Amino acid sequence: METLLPLAILLIVSLLLCVGILAVTQILGPKRPVPMQLSTYECGVKPEGGSHVPFKSSFYLVAVLFLLFDVEAAFFLPWALVYKNSLAEGPALFWALIVYLGLMAIGLFYILRKNILRLN
Amino acid sequence: MVFAIFSVFTLLTAAGVILSRNVIYSALNLVLCFFGLATLYLLWGATFISMIQILIYAGAIVVLFVFVVMLLNFEKPIDQSVKLPLMLLSGAGAWGLAFLLLRVLSKSVGEIPILESNSGASVRTVSKLLFSQYVWPFEVLTIFLLALIVGIYVLAKPEGEEKK
Amino acid sequence: MNGLDFLIAALKAIVILVAVIQVVPVMIYVERKVAALIQDRPGPNRVGPFGLFQPVADALKFLLKEDPIPHYTNRLLYTLAPFLSLLPACLVIAALPIADKAILFGREVTIQIAELDVSLIYILAIGSLGVYGILFGGWASNNKYSLIGSLRSASQMVSYELPLGLAAVGAVMVFGTFSLREMVLQQEGTLLGFLPNWGIFYQPVGFLIFLISSFAETNRLPFDLPETEAELVAGFHTEYGSMKFATFFMAEYMNLATMAGLMTVMYFGGWHLPWITDAALLELLGSQNLLCLVQVLTYIVKVSCFMFLYVLIRWTLPRFRFDQLLSLSWGSLIPLGLLNIIVSATLMYLIGVKQ
C-alpha cells in the first residue's frame, strides 16, 4: 500500500491542476462572444452541410482488429516474463510460443492478403 | 475503508452507464467503472490483472464503442418511456437475481481480504500457471481469435468484391 | 503510516510532476529555435536574451485570451476533452525510475513515484487512454473536419500501440521483469568488456520499432497527418482556444517526455553512466545523495537527447499519407515485432541450451 500512496497523491494533484486550469481561463479571459466567432471554422467560407462524417468502414475495422491483436499481445506479456527462467526446465515454453505466434502470424497474414484495412 | 470507497465509486459509475441519457456519457461512465474495478484488483494484490483490465477493457473495448458511436451518430437521447407490465416484469427479475446473489455471497465471503504483492495473484504466479496448467486453453484462445478475424472479414467485405 | 511517510510521498509526487511539466516551456522554446535554425532564420529573439522568455510570453498569451465555446456543441464534452488528454499524460509519469535511492530525513527514498511490479504494463495501459481526449475533442467540436481528424488520429494511435507493446515484450524477455526499476538495475556495467551493458545491444530491432512507434503514438511528425496545418486546418483541436488548446499541447509534450524516458529506461541504461557501475561511483563520490544527483542529471541528459531527436526529425522529414501510415504499422512494424520476438526467443533458447 505504501507504493500506492504517491500514486493517489499524483492523481489528486493532477485533478486539481485540471480544475485550476479551467478556473483560470474562466476568470482571466474576456467574454465577448460574437456569432461569427462561435460558428464552426471551415477555412473562412460559410460552413455547409451537417457536421457528420460519411461512414467509412475502415475506421471500424482498424478498431476491431486492434482489439483482437491487443488481446493477443496481452498474452505475450506473461509469456515473456517467465520465459527466461523456464528455459532451465526445457523447451516447453519455446514451443508454446511457436504455436501461438504461428497462429497470430496466420491472422496477420490473412488481414494483409485480403486487404481488409484497404492498405493498397 | 479505501476498498469501500472504491466499491461505491464502481457501483455509482456502473449505474451511470445505464442511467445516462447520452450514449457518450455512458461510455465515459463505463471507462470510470473499469478504472474502479482496476483499483479494486490493485487493492487485492492482483496487479497484473488490474493493468490488463485498463489496457484491454478501458483502452480497447470502450474505444471501439466510441468509434461506433461516432461513425453512426448515436447522439440523440434514447426514448426511455416503457410500458407498465414490462416494467413490473423486469423489476421482479432484477430483484430476484439480486436476492439470489446476496444469498450465495453471504454464505461464502467472510471479511474482505486485502493481500500484498506476494500473494497468489501476483504476476509471476499467474504467468507460471498460465503456461503450466492452462497452456491448452491459451493456445485454443488464439484459434478462437483467428476465427473472429475471419468472421470480421466476412461481415465487412468490401462491396467491390461481389462484382468480380 | 505516519506524517513523515505522507510527506515523502507527497514530495515525490509533486516534485516529479512539476519537473515534467517544466518540460513544456523548455520544449516550446527549443522547438521554435531549432526549427528556425534548420530553416535558416533567427527564430524567437525578441523576448529576453536570445528569446529565452518566449515561453513566458506564450503562457501569458494563452492564459489571457478569450475562451470561446462554439454553438451546437456538447458543452460538457467540449470542456472535458483537453483534460481527458492531460490526465493520462500526468498519470503515466508515475512509473518512470529517475534515480536510485536518496536519503531524505533519515530514510531511503527511491526517486520514482510508484514502484509497481508491473510498471511497464501500467505505462502501456495509461498510454492507451490518451485516445479519448482526441476522440472527444473532435466529436464535441461539431465540425466535420475535426471529426475526420480525430478519427484518423485515433486510428493511428491505436494502430501503433501494437508495435509498441511487441517491442516492449522483447525487452521484457531479455530482462525477465516488468518492473522498470529492475530493468535499469540490470543495465549496469559493461557487456563483452567494451560495450556499456545497455538494453539496446540486446534488442536493437526492438529499439527501432519502439522509436518509430513512439513518433506515431504522440502524433508527432512524420506522423501528424491528423493535425496537419495544410489539410485539416488543425485537425481535432481546430475549435479550441487559449488554455484548452494549450492543455492539448501540454499533454503532447508530456507524452513525448514519457516516451523518451521509457526509451532511456529500457534501452539506454536509465540513470547509469556508460561503463561505470553504481558501486564504483559511490566510492568515488562518497555520499549517496551526491550519487543520486549525478544519476538524475544523467537521466535528464539522456531524455534531452531524445527530445532533441524528436524536434530534429519533425523539421526534417515530410509527413506520411494516412494509408501509408497504417500500412507501415500493420504491414511492416507488427510483422517486424513478431520476428523480433521469435528471433530473440530462439537465440535465448540456443544460448541457454549451450550453458
- Across the A:C interface, residue pairs with CB atoms under 8 Å apart total 198
- Looking at chain C, the whole-number percentage of residues with pLDDT higher than 70 is 88
- Chain B hits for A111, Cβ within 8 Å: 149, 153
Report helix, strand and coil shares of chain C as percent, to nearest 5. 70, 5, 25
Give B-chain residues touching A118 at CB under 8 angstroms. 158
Residue B103 lies in a domain: no
Query: Hey, are the CB atoms on A38 and C90 less than 8 Å from each other?
Result: no
Closest CA relative to residue C353, chosen from A76, B62, A91: A91
Angle subtended by helix axes C119-127 and C144-175, to nearest 10? 170
Taking an 8 Å cut-off on Cβ atoms, the answer to whether C178 and B123 are in contact is yes
User: Is residue B41 in a domain?
Assistant: yes
Interface predicted TM-score (ipTM): 0.85
Q: B131 and A100: CB-CB below 8 Å?
A: no
Interface probe, candidates C62, C148, C334, C347, chain A, greatest A C-beta count within 10 A:
C334
Per the document, the length of chain C is 355
**Lowest mean pLDDT segment, chosen from C118-127, C149-158, C272-281:** C272-281
Cell triple for C341: 520476438
Largest CA distance in chain C: 70
Which residue of C lies nearest to A98 if distances are taken between CA atoms?
C342
The helix/strand/coil state of C228 is: coil
Instruction: Count how many domains chain B has.
Output: 1
CB A85 within 8 A of CB B127: no
What pLDDT is recorded for position B88? Answer: 86
Cis ω before C222 (30° cut-off from 0): yes
How far is residue C170's CA from residue C4's CA, in Å, rounded to a whole number? Answer: 39
What residues 111-140 of chain C have any CB closer than 8 A to a CB of chain B? 116-118, 121-122, 124-126, 128-129, 131-132, 135-136, 139
Tell me how far apart the alpha carbons of residues A50 and B51 are, in angstroms, rounded to a whole number: 40
> Across the interface, do A100 and B73 touch by the CB < 8 Å criterion?
no
Pair C140, C74: CB distance under 8 Å = yes
Q: Is the pLDDT of residue B164 over 50?
A: no
Q: Is B61 helix (H, G, I), strand (E, B) or coil?
A: helix
In B, which residues are within 8 Å of A74 by CB distance? 52, 55-56
B8-27: average pLDDT: 87
CA-derived radius of gyration, chain B: 21
A25 has a pLDDT exceeding 60:
yes
Does pLDDT of C70 surpass 70? no
User: Cβ(C257)–Cβ(C303) under 8 Å?
Assistant: yes
Burial class (CB in 10 A: 0-12, 13-18, 19+), C222: middle
**Residues of chain A positioned with their CB less than 8 A from the CB of B123:** 78, 81
**Residue B85 lies inside a defined structural domain of this protein:** no
Flag the least confident range among A26-30, A97-101, C267-271: A26-30
Burial of B1 (0-12, 13-18, 19+ CB in 10 A): exposed
- pLDDT on residue C129: 92
How many alpha carbons fall within 13 Å on the CB side of residue C294? 17
| A41, pLDDT greater than 70 | no
Q: Give domain status of residue B148, yes or no.
A: yes
Task: Write out chain A residues lying below 8 Å of C345, CB-based.
Answer: 83, 94, 97
Contact criterion met (CB < 8 Å) for A32 and C12: no
User: How much of chain A exceeds pLDDT 90, in percent?
Assistant: 8
Overall average pLDDT of the C15-29 stretch: 88
Question: Which residues partner with C191 through β-bridges?
Answer: C195
Map residue C224 onto helix, strand or coil: coil
Q: What is the largest CA-CA distance in chain A?
A: 73
Q: Does A119 touch chain B (CB under 8 A)?
A: no
- Least Cα separation, residue B107 to chain A (angstroms): 29
What's the average model confidence in pLDDT over B102-126? Answer: 64
Q: Is residue B101 part of a domain?
A: no
Is residue C100 helix, strand or coil?
strand
Closest listed residue to residue C309, CA positions, set C272, C257, C251: C257
Nearest to C85 by CA among C29, C22, C150, C143: C150
Instruction: Round to whole Å and give the CA distance between C266 and B93.
Output: 53
Q: What is the set of domains in chain A, with CATH numbers?
A: 4-114 (1.20.58.1610)
Q: Is residue C102 over pLDDT 90?
A: no
**Shortest CB distance from A96 goes to which of B59, B73, B135?**
B135
Q: Which of residues 39-98 of B touch A (CB under 8 A)?
A: 42, 48, 52, 55-56, 59-61, 63-64, 67-68, 70-73
Mean pLDDT within C142-148: 72
Going by pLDDT thresholds of 50, 70 and 90, the confidence category of residue B142 is confident
Quote the minimal CA–CA distance from A42 to chain B in Å.
20
Each residue of A29-42: b (16+ CB within 10 Å) or e? beeeeeeeeebbbe
Are B142 and A104 in contact (CB < 8 Å)?
Answer: yes
CB-based contact (8 Å) between C304 and chain A? no
CA–CA distance, C100 with C102 (Å, rounded to integer): 7
Average pLDDT score over chain A: 78
User: In this complex, do C147 and B71 lie within 8 Å of one another by their Cβ atoms?
Assistant: no
Question: Strand pairing of C107-111 and C99-104?
Answer: antiparallel
Q: Do C155 and A83 touch (CB under 8 A)?
A: no
What confidence category does residue A36 fall into, taking pLDDT thresholds of 50, 70 and 90? low
Classified as helix, coil or strand, A40 is coil
Assigned domain for B142 exists:
yes
**Domain, as residue range, for B45:** 2-75+113-163
Q: Which one-letter DSSP state was computed for residue C196?
A: E
CATH number at residue B9: 1.20.120.1200
